Structure 1
Amino acid sequence: MSAGTDPASKPDTGLVPVAEKVRLLAAEHAAAADRDRRLAPEVVGALREAGFARHFVAAGLGGSQGSFTELSRAVQIVGEACASTAWCASLAALSSRFAAHLPAEGHQEIWGESADTFVVTGQPPMGKASVVDGGHRLSGRWTYVSGADFAEWALLCGVVAGDGEPQARFFALPRKSFTVLETWDSVGMKATSSHSVVVDDVFVPQHLSYDRTDMLTGRNSWSDVASHNVPFQAVGGLTFIVPAIGAAQGALNACVTALTGKKLSTSAGIDLVRASAQIESARLLVEQNTAVLDDRAFTPELMARNERNAAYSADTLVEAVGALVRAAGTSGLSEKGALQRFWRDVVGAASHVALRFETASARTYPAALLGT
Structure 2
Amino acid sequence: MLTAQRAPRTLDPADGDLLAAARRDASAAEQAGRLTPEVAAALTRAGFPRHFVPREQGGAAGEFGPLVTATATVAEACASTAWCAALFAAHGRLAAYLPPDGRREIWAGGPDRRIAAAVVPPQGRAVKERDGWRLDGTWRPASGVDHADWVLLASWVPAPSGREHRIFAVPRSELTVEDTWDACGLRGTGSNTVRAEGVRVPEHRSVPLQTLLRPQPGAARCHTVPFPMVAALIFAAPALGIARGALRAWTAERAGAPARHPATHTVLAEASARIHAAGLLLDGAAARADRGEITALTVAENRRDAATAATLCREAVDSLFRASGLRAHTPGSVLQRAWRDATTLASHGTLDTDAAARAYAEAVLTPEV
TM-score range, shorter chain: over 0.9
Residue number in structure 1 paired with 2:56: 60
- Matches of 1:363 and 1:159 in 2, distance apart? 25
Determine if contact 1:67/1:227 at 8 Å carries over to the other structure.
yes
Residue number in structure 2 paired with 1:327: 323
Query: Which shifted more, 159-168 or 361-370?
Result: 159-168
Shift of 1:202: 1.2
Residue number in structure 1 paired with 2:33: 37
Determine if contact 2:34/2:144 at 8 Å carries over to the other structure.
no
Residue number in structure 1 paired with 2:108: 112
Shift of 1:322: 1.1
- Matches of 1:24 and 1:105 in 2, distance apart? 38
Change (3 A) 1:325 1:228: same
Q: 2:65 aligns with which of 49, 59, 69?
A: 69
- Matches of 1:36 and 1:281 in 2, distance apart? 34
- Matches of 1:255 and 1:12 in 2, distance apart? 39
Determine if contact 2:12/2:47 at 8 Å carries over to the other structure.
no
- Over the matched positions of the two proteins, sequence identity in percent amounts to 39
Change (3 A) 1:69 1:20: farther
Q: Does 1:165 align with 2:131?
A: no
Residue number in structure 1 paired with 2:90: 94
Residue number in structure 1 paired with 2:365: 370
Amino acid at match of 1:255: W
Residue number in structure 2 paired with 1:23: 19
- Matches of 2:143 and 2:13 in 1, distance apart? 25
Shift of 1:368: 2.2
Residue number in structure 1 paired with 2:314: 318
- Matches of 1:18 and 1:336 in 2, distance apart? 25
Amino acid at match of 1:318: R
Determine if contact 2:9/2:47 at 8 Å carries over to the other structure.
no
Q: Does 1:134 align with 2:148?
A: no
Q: TM-score, normalised by structure 2?
A: 0.93
* Structure 1 segment 260-271 matched on structure 2, within 5 A: 260-264=255-259, 265-271=261-267
Change (3 A) 1:17 1:362: closer
Please give the secondary structure, in 2, of the residue aligned with 1:346.
Answer: helix
Determine if contact 1:12/1:66 at 8 Å carries over to the other structure.
no
Residue number in structure 2 paired with 1:275: 271
Amino acid at match of 1:199: A
- Matches of 1:163 and 1:71 in 2, distance apart? 38
- Matches of 1:16 and 1:246 in 2, distance apart? 15
Query: What number of residue pairs does the alignment pair up?
Result: 359
Q: 2:173 aligns with which of 173, 176, 181?
A: 176
Shift of 1:36: 2.3
Q: After superposition, what is the alpha-carbon deviation per residue over 1:260-315, rounded to whole angstroms, capped at 9, x for unaligned? A: 23332210221011101101111110011111110142121111111111111122
- Matches of 2:64 and 2:42 in 1, distance apart? 20
- Matches of 2:8 and 2:36 in 1, distance apart? 28
Unaligned runs of 5+ in 2: 1-6
Please give the secondary structure, in 2, of the residue aligned with 1:237.
Answer: helix
Amino acid at match of 1:250: G
Unaligned runs of 5+ in 1: 1-10
- Matches of 1:337 and 1:109 in 2, distance apart? 44
Q: After superposition, what is the alpha-carbon deviation per residue over 1:315-339, rounded to whole angstroms, capped at 9, x for unaligned? A: 2111100111123232222222211
Residue number in structure 2 paired with 1:192: 189
Shift of 1:13: 5.0
- Matches of 2:205 and 2:222 in 1, distance apart? 20
Please give the secondary structure, in 2, of the residue aligned with 1:339.
Answer: helix
Please give the secondary structure, in 1, of the residue aligned with 2:198.
Answer: strand
- Matches of 1:12 and 1:357 in 2, distance apart? 36
Q: Does 1:248 align with 2:243?
A: yes
Change (3 A) 1:12 1:63: closer
Please give the secondary structure, in 2, of the residue aligned with 1:15.
Answer: coil
Q: TM-score, normalised by structure 1?
A: 0.92
Q: 2:224 aligns with which of 229, 245, 254?
A: 229
Determine if contact 2:232/2:307 at 8 Å carries over to the other structure.
yes
Please give the secondary structure, in 1, of the residue aligned with 2:243.
Answer: helix
Q: After superposition, what is the alpha-carbon deviation per residue over 1:72-120, rounded to whole angstroms, capped at 9, x for unaligned? A: 1100100001000000000000000000011111111111112100001
Amino acid at match of 1:311: A
Please give the root-mean-square deviation of Cα atoms over the aligned residues, in Å. Answer: 1.9
Determine if contact 1:100/1:107 at 8 Å carries over to the other structure.
yes
